[in-house]
Amino acid sequence: IDSCGEPGGALLKELREASGVTMEELGARTKILYAHLAAIESDGIGSLPSPVYFRGFITAYLGYLGIHRDEVVEKIVERYRD
């Protein structure tokens, strides 16, 4: 994952698309609203409910893609900390 580039929305979208998963499928399986997924992938996290939800969304998002690495979640969450 580190070789894919800076952790963020574009990387998450690239990982999702490389896995052949649509946003609709991801939303249905993780119970994350489509609008929240779109915000995450476009780095528009200001529209998400709270940082706690953001961490949970990222964990569920990556988990569904089969990526279970805490350091990846931490890198993504750290990027958006104030």
Output helix, strand, coil percentages for the chain, rounded to the nearest 5.
70, 0, 30
**Is residue 3 very low, low, confident or very high in pLDDT (cuts 50, 70, 90)?**
very low
pTM: 0.78
Given this model, what pLDDT does residue 17 score?
A: 96
Given this model, what pLDDT does residue 5 score?
A: 54
Could you give the CA distance from residue 22 to residue 50 in angstroms, rounded to a whole number? 24
Q: Give the tens place of pLDDT for each residue, 18-59.
A: 999 999 999 999 999 999 999 999 988 888 888 888 889 999
> Residue 31 class from Cβ within 10 Å (0-12 exposed, 13-18 middle, 19+ buried)?
exposed
**Is residue 1 very low, low, confident or very high in pLDDT (cuts 50, 70, 90)?**
very low
